[in-house]
Amino acid sequence: MTAIAILLFDGVEELDAVGPWEVFSWAAREGEPPVPLSVFTVSRDGAPVTCGKGMVITPDHSFATAPEIDVLLVPGGQGTRPMLKDEEMLDWVRNTAAGCTWVTSVCTGAMVLAQAGLAKGKRITTYHSVVEPMREWSDAEVLSDVRFVRDGNLVTSAGVSAGIDMSLWLVGELAGVDYARAVQQGIEYFPAPPYLYEV
Amino acid sequence: MTAIAILLFDGVEELDAVGPWEVFSWAAREGEPPVPLSVFTVSRDGAPVTCGKGMVITPDHSFATAPEIDVLLVPGGQGTRPMLKDEEMLDWVRNTAAGCTWVTSVCTGAMVLAQAGLAKGKRITTYHSVVEPMREWSDAEVLSDVRFVRDGNLVTSAGVSAGIDMSLWLVGELAGVDYARAVQQGIEYFPAPPYLYEV
């Protein structure tokens, strides 16, 4: 069983967490995965968290009750800022990551991984407004204009909705590309943004 | 103030609700909308709902406490099935829709709108596996292979992730296309599914 844990905390950006949740939980529970998968949410104390835009989500587990974790996903959101000085949280992320086969982030979750010392010298990406600041303070090589970056077992996504792309890719790594495509069809992820966008 | 309400219920599919929530709440709260917008979640009794894949979300309002609603969004998920025989729920949807400028759905939420009598003779879409059944039992013209369909003030989306496309389009209608593009950039919705898909 590969256990995927999505970290929740006050100020987590809703889609950073729920986009990957939808991908992984569809993979684990709706389809018939060629390898067993599980996914759960976890927060420090297991109490309901208030997300960045105000949605209240009750985590599946606290740090104390969480099963062993194989894949860690750290979402972003304004709530990552206080985490950068939260030694208890950084210790948990560091210690959990040490036992993981994959360590991942969405958006500004990359700041937490870097602050925990997990991105030293590695190629990563993050939310567009944080790329330049992270180039200043972090010890990672921060790429821009990519949806996600894999360096070894570290996989970091760009902002918010990019976590969906990254999670589908990871389903392909965990359970095969054919199965990832089945999940893609399950959630009808054939996106078509309605307005043309010129940068 | 344009008030957008996302209906929650046991068995609602997580991304059906949270994709639009992210788009609308970013539009309402993170950016500087040219017109005032608000967004909230609402369920029958306001108690926490257990979503289709097990996530527990606490709604902002019950039917009794909800402010006046201008835009109604009905997500899909397995929880729509019992709603098709739930006269109290269908009455609420029908009565709320009567006062709305826009009535919208994601995925199998279209079944609820149709069952409430809101799609008679209208062009709609829904989750791919429900297109044929709805052609049998509903009084709507059910289209396939489109992300969303607008017919008058009724806007129905295809499955799960299609709600993000529809919601961004609606932000463009409510607050202008330039603002919708700003929201698109805010949530970095420049999707790139990782595996090529051949139907």
Per-residue pLDDT band at A198 (split at 50, 70, 90): low
> Under CATH, what is the fold of the domain B2-186?
Rossmann fold (3.40.50)
Half-sphere exposure of A39 (CA within 13 A, CB side): 25
Q: For B13-36, what is the HEC assignment?
A: CHHHHHHHHHHHHHHHHHCCCCCC
Pairwise CB contact (< 8 Å): A25 & B54 = yes
Known catalytic residue at A107 = yes
In which region does residue B18 sit, left (phi positive, over 0), alpha (psi from -120 to 50) or beta (all else)? alpha
pLDDT surpasses 90 at A12? yes
**B residues 54-73 closer than 8 Å to A (CB):** 54-58, 60
pLDDT surpasses 80 at B18? yes
* Res B11: pLDDT: 98
Mean pLDDT score, A39-62: 98
Residues of B annotated as catalytic are 107
CB A170 within 8 A of CB A102: yes
Mean pLDDT score, A74-96: 98
Annotated domain spans of chain B: 2-186
- Tell me if chain B has a CB within 8 Å of the CB of A168: yes
Give percent above pLDDT 90 in chain B.
96
The helix/strand/coil state of A165 is helix
pLDDT surpasses 80 at B142? yes
Distances, alpha carbon A146 to alpha carbons A72, A149, B170, in Å? 21, 7, 27
Hey, which bits of A8-100 come out as E strands? 37-43, 49-50, 56-58, 61-62, 71-74
* Res B71: pLDDT: 98
* Res B198: pLDDT: 57
pLDDT surpasses 80 at B197? no
- Please tell me the distance from the alpha carbon of residue A122 to that of residue B4, in angstroms, as a whole number: 42
pLDDT surpasses 80 at B78? yes
Pairwise CB contact (< 8 Å): A58 & B56 = yes
pLDDT surpasses 80 at A199? no
Q: Which of A53, A107, A108, A156 to mutate to test the interface with B (most CBs of B within 10 A)?
A: A53
Segment A23-43, tens digit of pLDDT: 999 999 987 899 999 999 999
- Tell me if chain B has a CB within 8 Å of the CB of A10: no
Give percent above pLDDT 70 in chain B.
98
The residue with tokens 């596996």 is B129
- Cβ-based contacts of B197 with chain A (< 8 Å): 181, 184-185, 190
Segment B81-138, tens digit of pLDDT: 999 999 999 999 999 999 999 999 999 999 999 999 999 999 999 999 999 999 999 9
* Res A32: pLDDT: 86
Give the gap in angstroms from C-alpha B118 to the nearest C-alpha of chain A: 24
B198/B181: higher pLDDT: B181
Q: Which of A15, A29, A166 to mutate to test the interface with B (most CBs of B within 10 A)?
A: A15
Distances, alpha carbon A138 to alpha carbons A119, A134, A144, in Å? 8, 5, 15
Pairwise CB contact (< 8 Å): B172 & A193 = no
Look up the pTM and report it: 0.96
Q: Which of A73, A59, A80, A72 is nearest to A11 (CA)?
A: A80
- Cβ-based contacts of B25 with chain A (< 8 Å): 14, 53-55
Per-residue pLDDT band at B176 (split at 50, 70, 90): very high
- Tell me if chain A has a CB within 8 Å of the CB of B48: yes
Mean pLDDT score, A151-157: 98
Give the gap in angstroms from C-alpha B165 to the nearest C-alpha of chain A: 5
Is this complex scored with an ipTM above 0.90? yes
DSSP state letter for A152: T
- Tell me if chain B has a CB within 8 Å of the CB of A145: no
From edge to edge, which strands make up the β-sheet containing A49-50?
A: A49-50, A56-58, B56-58, B49-50
CB B33 within 8 A of CB B49: no
- Please tell me the distance from the alpha carbon of residue B58 to that of residue B51, in angstroms, as a whole number: 11
- Please tell me the distance from the alpha carbon of residue B26 to that of residue A132, in angstroms, as a whole number: 23
